[in-house]
Structure 1
Amino acid sequence: MAGGVIGWILAKLKNRRYAMQSTNGKSLIFGCIYSMRYTNYKIDPNPLIFVLYSGQRRFVTKQGHYTDGINTNYLNYSDKAWFARMLYLLKKGNQRMNPRLFYRFLKLNRPNIIKTAYRRYHTSMIANPRMVSAGFTHLGKLIYPSSFPWIVGLNKTLEPQMQNLTGVQIAYSQDELSNRINQTLNSVPIHRQTVSATRPATTQRII
């Protein structure tokens, strides 16, 4: 009896995960990272996208269903480290985000990410999308295994046992969010501080 119930639950989760991986004109989930094939590619046929927005666009040249996101394949090592740190802080702080606020936050604090990796895709031309990281969402049970080293490391830091969620938000407005996360980035862990009786502790930017 117990085995039947467990099997039913696993089947439901599998079907739900499958439904959330197939576009079929439907939106991908903001805050998650997807691997995929893009049939209309010019440079990268297999983008690895952090989804900022997925839905109808009416103010573009040709209205339709588009997916906007950060193609993490284009990020350098420093930007990837910074981006992973932000996802960790946002999830740990249980911070509420929306696509516009997150885009503006990136543009303000790490403009190179927007400059080098922001892309817009025709959703109907996205093939075989698979959620490989839940990002700062709580959909970790729906992700597919990934062989990308950066994704593997990111998912490890985002696991519940690594988060120790406090329920305390990082901030409640765009300016406060920017200030508080910058303060966190500029802080130095105690074990890395150099303390002297005659001079203050040294500071070092963490990315």
Structure 2
Amino acid sequence: MRIRPVGAHALLLDCTASADVPVPALVEAWRAELWRRRTQGELIAAEIVPAANTVLLDGLPDSVATAELLSRWARTVTAAVEGEDATGRVTADAEVVVPVDFDGPDLPTVAEHWGVDVPAVLRRLTDTRFRVAFCGFAPGFPYLTGLPAELALPRLATPRPRVPAGSVALAGPYAGIYPGASPGGWLLVGRTDLVLFDVHADPPARLGPGAQVRMAAA
């Protein structure tokens, strides 16, 4: 893990994989630990933002002093995830069940890539316990980890100009759900009526980083 300064009041934790600690598990461990430390008053940060390989801390009163704290906490965080797989840490976080109509046009393509039939794809998706690694691309768009690395999928060669809101999709090692209609190049496997982003809600994103997610056939 490397700590990089970002301006005067932010730090970027750049996580590196090892044989025992995969990057998604390490990023999630840092996110959970930093949120815990902030709740307990041991860390002052306006924003803690996880991404695929990094965690950004912004709004720090003293970035140098915070970097020293991060260095001291690194061993605790690493020890917490050693020996666990890329699905990340299992915690007692509440599970969000997402009802899905599995009627996406790319299901046959996913089945072909995975070397199984479509019913087996559905079983895999409903049996997997996903976790929101981070949000990006669009407000409230959750990047869900949980699928084995060998099931990673290529994006479409040509993105669709419009993907309907609520579309459940797969790309690379992730599953995701489009919170609103937008262009997109992920493989579509279904659709949910769950509202993922509401500017009037607190928090606005229904599925934030760290949330556990299970898909259920609607």
TM-score, scaled relative to structure 2:
0.25
Structure number with the higher helix fraction is 1
Whose radius of gyration is greater, 1 or 2? 1
Greater strand fraction, Structure 1 or Structure 2: 2
